[in-house]
Amino acid sequence: MAALACAGGVAAESIITMSPATTIAEARLVDIRQLVPDIMEDIKYAGSDNFVGAPVDGYLAPKCFLLRPAAEALARVERDLRPLHRRLQLFDCYRPARASRHFVRWAADPADQHTKAAHYPDIDKRDLMGDYIAPLSGHSRGATVDLTIIQCNENDERCAPLDMGTIFDFFGTRANTDSPLATPAQHANRALLREAMEREGFRNYAMEWWHYSLSPEPTPGVVYNVPVQ
């Protein structure tokens, strides 16, 4: 395994290793749909509705994989929400290391600004490296998930996302979980998500209301690079 330095908000300046796994099975990653067949997924990096504006390297299918302890904990969150006619909607789960390299290349291209209005209206693209974009991500360790809560009616139909104040992958202080720029209703919705996730051992990244990692992580010193397919 190669030794790597992991930068960014999730695992700043820790030394990790790259797994030699070449397949999902070798990495022991689990498709969340094996545990929750009808979970709602909107895997952003498999398509173009994301801050890069294009499918991201390593995402060959819109699927959510996690290491089994994280997948089982997430399934329990979903189970706990359903009596209240609420459900999770997943934006990202395991992320191949190659995807982070794609993000770094995008951040280094000042000419590509076509997602600025939606994703980083108040930040210069040159300043995204560090707190928002890093050479490696905690997602690549297989126990981090980006998600929101969907509220359905009493028949579990006509479901809609709760208002969290920003879109997923909004780069700016409005996306901070406890941002003073969020309304009381948005704070309440963020608190619902945080409480549901914390009950099953997930911890929030304070800069992003949608970002949660299982604590402790199953393999905190290892990242994976197998494609999502």
All residues at 6 or more sequence positions from 200 whose CB lies less than 8 Å from its CB, including other chains? 73, 74, 76, 77, 80
The answer to the question of whether 146 is labelled as a binding residue is yes
| Ramachandran category for residue 8: left, alpha or beta (phi over 0 → left; psi -120 to 50 → alpha) | left
Separation CA 120–CA 98 (nearest Å): 23
User: Cβ of 222: how many Cβ atoms within 10 Å?
Assistant: 19
Q: Which of 50, 61, 80 is nearest to 149 (CA)?
A: 80
All residues at 6 or more sequence positions from 94 whose CB lies less than 8 Å from its CB, including other chains? 29, 64, 65, 66, 67, 139, 140, 142, 224, 228
Residue of 41, 78, 208, 217 with catalytic role: 208
Under 8 Å between Cβ of 100 and 135: yes
All residues at 6 or more sequence positions from 192 whose CB lies less than 8 Å from its CB, including other chains? 86, 149, 162
Catalytic residue flag (residue 208) = yes
The answer to the question of whether 102 is labelled as a binding residue is no
Encoded tokens for 213 = 């990692």
The answer to the question of whether 139 is labelled as a binding residue is yes
Binding residues for Zn(2+): 139, 146, 211
* Catalytic positions, written as ranges: 208
Binding residues: 139, 146, 211
